[in-house]
Structure 1
Amino acid sequence: MLLGGLGLGAGLVAGCQQEAPPGASPQDLLLTKAPTSATQPVTTGRNLSAGRYREVDIVIIRPAGVTEPIPVCVALHPRLGGAKAFLDLGVPDMLTKVVQAGADPFAVVAVDGGNWVGNKDDDPQRMLMEDLPAWLDYHDLASTPFSCIGISEGGAGALNLARVPGFSAVAAISPKLYEEWPDAQGSGTFAEQTQWQKREPLRHSTEYANLAVGVWCGTEDKDFIAPSRAFAENTKAVKASFTPGGHDNAYWSAVLPEALKFVGGVL
Structure 2
Amino acid sequence: MDLRPGLDDDRGPELRLRRRTVLAGGVAALGLAVAARPLTMTVARRYGVATPVVPDAPAGDERLEQRRSAARGRPVDFYTAVPAGHGAGHGLPVCLVLHGGSKTPRDFPGLGLGRFLTDAVRRGAPPFALAGASGDRLGWRPGSPDDPQRMVYAELPAWCRARGFDTSRLAAWGWSMGGAGSLLLAETYPGLLRSVAAFSPAVFPGDDVFAGVAGLRRLPVGLWCGRDDGLYDSVRALERALPTAPVAGGYAAGRHNFGYWSTVVPAAFDFVARTLAR
**Shared topology, TM-score over 0.5?**
yes
Q: Show the counterpart of 2:203.
A: 177
Q: Is 1:106 the equivalent of 2:128?
A: yes
Trace 1:1-267 onto structure 2 (pairs within 5 A): 41-67=61-87, 68-114=90-136, 115-117=139-141, 119-163=143-187, 164=189, 165-180=191-206, 196=207, 200-222=208-230, 224-235=231-242, 236-266=245-275, 267=277
Greater share of residues in helix: 1
Which amino acid in 1 is paired with 2:237?
A
Which amino acid in 2 is paired with 1:228?
V
Shift of 1:145: 4.7
Q: TM-score, normalised by structure 1?
A: 0.75
Which stretches in structure 2 are left out of the alignment for 5+ residues? 1-59
Counterparts in 2 of 1:240 and 1:143: CA distance versus 1, 3 Å: closer
Q: Is the 8 A contact 2:183 2:198 kept in 1?
A: yes
Give the aligned CA root-mean-square deviation in angstroms.
1.5
Which stretches in structure 1 are left out of the alignment for 5+ residues? 1-39, 181-195
Shift of 1:86: 2.6
Identity across matched positions, percent = 34
Q: Show the counterpart of 1:193.
A: none
**Any idea what SS the aligned residue of 1:94 has?**
helix
Shift of 1:85: 3.0
Q: TM-score, normalised by structure 2?
A: 0.72
Which amino acid in 2 is paired with 1:207?
G
The structure with the larger Rg is: 1
- Once residues 181 and 149 of structure 2 are traced to their aligned partners in structure 1, the CA distance between those partners, rounded to angstroms, is 8
Shift of 1:256: 1.3
Q: Which runs of 4+ in 1 moved over 6 A?
A: none
Q: Is the 8 A contact 2:223 2:250 kept in 1?
A: yes
- Once residues 232 and 100 of structure 1 are traced to their aligned partners in structure 2, the CA distance between those partners, rounded to angstroms, is 31
Q: Show the counterpart of 2:39.
A: none
Q: Is the 8 A contact 2:125 2:274 kept in 1?
A: yes
**Any idea what SS the aligned residue of 2:105 has?**
coil
Which amino acid in 2 is paired with 1:135?
W
Which amino acid in 2 is paired with 1:131?
E
Which amino acid in 1 is paired with 2:200?
S
Counterparts in 2 of 1:134 and 1:126: CA distance versus 1, 3 Å: same
- Once residues 91 and 70 of structure 1 are traced to their aligned partners in structure 2, the CA distance between those partners, rounded to angstroms, is 17
Shift of 1:137: 1.4
Q: Is the 8 A contact 2:205 2:238 kept in 1?
A: no
Q: Show the counterpart of 2:55.
A: none
**Any idea what SS the aligned residue of 1:211 has?**
coil
